Amino acid sequence: LGQFFITYSWLCFLPLCFSQVYHVVNERKSWTEAQRYCRETYTDLVTINSTETMAQMKDILRDKTDEFWIGLYGDVNNWKWSLEKDGFYEKGQADLRLWNSGEPNNAEDHFLSCVTTTNSMWNIRPCSNTYPFICSEKPNFDAGGPT
């Protein structure tokens, strides 16, 4: 299985600070299979909720030409993140959308559509298509801090 991970972005929430870890998995899976893999192995498919996080994704994917699943899914009027927990995001924090030119264009054609990213913009694809994907992982804490 070809994958690598990058520790990125120090996020601070008083009184704890922790880094977000991203795992690029080069195995092609449907969106649902990718979500299951990320949830079983890490935390979930990546949530891109800021331009800073998208800049990190762009850096991580700079030498890649393929599209990668991210955690966004839905239909033309209702998009949700795979990691959707009440209270997890502050108001408006999960509303970022970085659609590629002409997107969302075919979400109405699919009962459920899922989203890929190239190195900077998002595309709508049928969830049954197979692509590599990006997982995120929340750090583990012990008495000494993040590990």
Tokens representing residue 129 in the block = 């298509």
Q: In this predicted model, what pLDDT tens digit does every residue of 86-97 receive, in sequence order?
A: 444 444 444 556
Q: Which residue has the higher pLDDT, 139 or 4?
A: 139
Q: In this predicted model, what pLDDT tens digit does every residue of 41-66 receive, in sequence order?
A: 999 999 887 778 888 888 888 888 89
pLDDT at 14: 41
Could you give all domains of the chain from N- to C-terminal order, each with its CATH number?
Answer: 3-140 (3.10.100.10)
Tell me the whole-structure pTM to 2 decimals.
0.73
Average pLDDT, the chain: 73
